[in-house]
Structure 1
Amino acid sequence: MAIQEIALDLDLSVGVFKDTIYQAQKLKLRELSQDADGNSIYPGNGSWESTPFRIQDKIASFKGVAASVDIAGGAAYKIYWSTSEDGFEWGAYEEILADVTAPKSPAKYAKVKIEIVAEKEYSNFYIDEFNQKGKYSNPFIESESGSLGLKKIYQLNMERASDTPTGMVLRQKVENTKFKKLDRIRVSKG
C-alpha cells in the first residue's frame, strides 16, 4: 500500500470562534480596543474550532497529521485535532507538531482547533488630570486636588433639635448604608 499526502483545506470562516475573527482571509484575535497611541489591544488568547468534517471517503488510514500555516504578526499558535466514529463522541485533542503526530486509528470524522496566543507589548494610556471642577458629580468622589479619590471629609448641615439654657442641640442623621465606618465626628463652632 502506497503512502500519499492528502491536503485538506479548512474553511476558517465557519466554526466556533472564541475571541477570534475571520477577516481578510485570515484567522486572528478580535480587537478589544485601542491604546492612547492608536495601537490595537487584543485578548491574551483566543481559539477557533472547525465544524466536523467527514474524512472516511478520503483517507483509509492515518500515519500522522501535519499542518502548513502562513503566519503574519507576532502571535504564537498551536493546532490540535480530534477524531470521532459517529460525529458525536470525540477523542481528546492532540497537538499537531512540525513532525508527524502519533498515529490514530481510522475514523469517519475529524475536527481541528487552533489556539492563538497574543504577543505581549507595552501600551500607553493617558489619564485625566482630575482638576476640572464639577466634572465628576458623584458625592463620594473627590477630584479637585489633581487626583481622583474617595471623599473622606463630609460637611453636613445639622438640624436644630432644641434650645437649652446654655446653648442648643443640633442633630444630623447618618445612615450606615452610605458609610462603611466613621473615624471621628468633629463639630466646629459656627
Structure 2
Amino acid sequence: MNFPKRSNIQQTARQQLVIVGSRNPVKIKSTDHAFHKIFEHAFVVQGLEVNSGVSDQPLGDEETLKGAMNRAKNANMAFPEADYWVGIEGGVENNNGKMNAFAFIVVLDKNGKLGKAKTATFDLPDVIANLIMGGMELGAADDQHFNRENSKEGDGAVGMLTHGIVTRKEYYEQAIILALIPFANESMY
C-alpha cells in the first residue's frame, strides 16, 4: 500500500478537536503525536475520563476491543462537538501457557468513519501474570513488582520490560497511526 505523503493529505483551515476517552497523559500524548504525524492540519487533543464498560483488566481480544470502542463512543456522547474520538484499551490474554499484553485502538470521526488497530503483543513475566490472575490490573501488578507508583501513566509494562527501548507512548502511537489509515486514505475506505 502506498501511504500518501503528508503534503498530499487534505488540509483544513481550523484546528480540529480530538477527544481521547481517557485522562491518562501517555494516551493523550500518543494520540497527539500520531495525529500530527499523519495529518498536516492543526489538532487540539484533549483527554476526557469516560467509562470503558468492561472490567478493569480486560481479558482477550473481544473484551479489550469492546473497551476501546466504548471509550471512543462514550467520548463522542460526552463531547459531540469534536472532530475525532479515540479509545485506547489495554488487555491481556492467556496464549499457549503465557500471558500476553496488548492494546486496541479505536478512532471515530464526525462522519461515522471507524478505524481500529491492535498493538504488538508481548509475553508478561510469570510473576506479573500470576498477580493479574490473582485479580490485579496490569498497572497495579507492575507497580507492585517493580516497586513503582502509577506506572500506567508512565512507562508501563512495555517500557519497564524493554528497559525504556520501547516507550509506552511509542507503543500506542504506532497503533494509533495504523488506526488512522482509513482517514488518511479516504478514497479507499
Q: How high is the TM-score relative to the length of structure 2? A: 0.27
Higher helix share: 2
Higher strand share: 1
If you compute each CA radius of gyration, which structure gives the higher value, 1 or 2?
A: 1
Q: Whose relative contact order is higher, 1 or 2, with alpha carbons under 8 Å and at least 6 apart?
A: 2
